[in-house]
Chains A and B, each alone.
Chain A
């Protein structure tokens, strides 16, 4: 029988390969904060298996499970049967969109990115008091969350780069639109074109991204292949900064949260730690770190569509930071910072920063003395 949906055409073998061992349950952040097995990777694979077996229909009833996945890839990293759940989920979401069964928040995101230049449908891109689209050695690409929600953190990052006398420019950037791939739609090639043209016109030899997701999009999506073809390097800010000396130190107890997009998806674990260890004498790992890191709950469109569970995932992560007695939680992703800060309870004293912002704050303190 001809497969009805693309997810089946592409992933039938893998879905059948799921042995239902349930090992993903130990690591799935959605399960961890709901204790509802229908929401973990096994639950999702079983739904798709039953669709393939003709026992149930792909449709509205499945939205709550299939659209509630942060695409953190913890399941895939721990699956003995080698099932790449996030890729399968992304395809199934596209099939659902195709038949008109999609979470309204995801439809909204696509609508916005067809009309607007950013995921928040904001009219004006902040310039952080800097001239954009100059000729420079580096382009600094901020990303939507850093531009419109965590702009203070971005300001600090840019200040730090100025102090380090980096020859960079901001561009009139638009959303990389990679996120659309995760929520059932496709990356918007028009937006990609705009970004590429603006990057090229600066003459820069490398693009530095503040956002791990933009980094992943620029390095992994074919729509951005021209960067590689033109020999333009893409670096995440944590890679770029690892060789600098900042001349500051903190005695506070510091821990680091690996963003899923930087860690499990791109394999960048050590550069952020190298920098942190330079500036923090008391560094501790949380229970889950590196490839085992626990997702903050923001990804895969979950923050928008299932806000309550998204926050409770972030709370679980904060709890781990508290358990090791950390006073400062550093990460390398505006989206993680945003969700973790939102989830923080007033009584929790821990402070959450992007590493760059934290370093800049330390430098500022010295300057004031």
Chain B
């Protein structure tokens, strides 16, 4: 770390909020993906003003800056591939305002999703995206990755709730986007540009979120299917029924087998299971919706349909879905959790295609996910210390992406592009779209210092080079 930069960072953030200690550098080399790279130092800013000064400094000295929340990203988005300064925003963790009459909450980016949920609870309100990582991931991270969750089909993703942002641009200027009003068509939608931008365009330092009243009643049911086509058709037919379930999750056969091998849940070993939940404010209302869904399940050859008659029974029906990730995480030393997404009518095709890819490469892929919005999680299990396995995993991933695109889908419904999917960007986006994205990046970050090396945005910067900053301890 060069002394001038270090002294300046300490002057800005304070000695307690700066580190170049080995333990911090190692910890900030990783997120929840398989990627890693060493930063030069870490700073924990406390205010937007500090972030602004840090950005101005880094911009002047051409040092990469990587914003970071909880580091739960699954695509290497917060991994400092070009070295530089980790800007850990988790100490900016105040909930600034909850206004029920305006239906909004204003938060700093380091607030953990679950803490906002806890604060909204007493008002009977919630911020719906509900990512599975909500106990840990930060709202800044959720905004930067446009996080979603099991309720995506009915409630959308983070994007649908961000009303306004305060953003520090790569040159240090502070900008406000959007408005606290529920509606605004004033100028370009800069807010949306930053949602899902993976920390490549600006550092989010304040977030204004729309919040919803929380439904108080739910109905839950589980259906099993002896073949994928039936399950897939059931999903499409639910869309015709006029009901939008609050949850519609699918478990594929490989996942069911793995759960049975590793728990005592004793699930029927069928080709697919669908878990549905409807929500509302009275039991009559949610049961009415569920009856329609159950009708669809029956007319599409469901083998067995179980509707929960109590809260405890609902918890039991959720057990298989909730255990999926933890079961699959323990089978091999490594896994990648993909999140390819297709139009709902193509869910069955996607599942069948995944099975074919698994057979073709001789690698285990277990699938579960959000059938209700077409977002599946094929989890590829492999031994990361075995080069043959790694090669298979990479080939299978590439095939998965091609499959999703061929079904008019997308590379990623939730987890983002980061490093993992950067090589596949041009599979989904045409050259014109890529050019526009790169131009936007160049416009806001001409010196390419903010989270460089991600999302295939790296064209040459104005000096003809991508700036890198060698990690001191590498």
Contact = CB atoms under 8 A, between A and B. Distances in A.
Q: Do A and B come from one complex?
A: yes
Contact of B329 (A22, A50, A80): A80
A13 B91 CA distance: 33
Contacts, number: 88
Given A61-B21, A64-B21, A81-B326, A13 B27 contact: no
B23 A80 contact: no
A118 to B, nearest CB: 33
**Majority-rule SS of A interface residues:** helix
B161 interface: no
B31 to A, nearest CB: 7
B32 A43 contact: no
A64 B23 contact: yes
A38 B44 CA distance: 13
Interface string B89-111: 01101000000000000000000
A35 interface: yes
Contacts of B90: 35, 37
Contacts of A65: 23
B278 interface: no
Nearest to B68: A37
A337 B93 CA distance: 30
A47 interface: yes
A279 to B, nearest CB: 30
Interface string B380-396: 00001100000000000
Contacts of A36: 24
A20 interface: yes
Contacts of A21: 32, 72, 133, 136, 329
Residue from A17, A36, A50 with most neighbouring chain B CB atoms (10 Å): A36
Interface residues of A, number: 29
Interface residues of B, number: 36
A19 B22 contact: no
Given A22-B71, A42-B27, A81-B330, A62 B22 contact: yes
Interface string A14-40: 001101111101100000000111110
Contacts of A47: 23, 26-27
Contacts of B135: 23, 26
Nearest to A20: B32
B307 interface: no
Contacts of B325: 80
Nearest to B110: A35
7 tightest Cβ-Cβ pairs between the two chains A and B: A80-B326, A38-B27, A38-B23, A43-B27, A26-B135, A61-B22, A65-B23
6 contacts: A19-B32, A20-B33, A20-B71, A21-B136, A64-B23, A80-B325
Interface of B: 21-24, 26-33, 44, 70-72, 88, 90-91, 93, 112, 114, 118, 133, 135-137, 325-326, 329-330, 333-335, 384-385
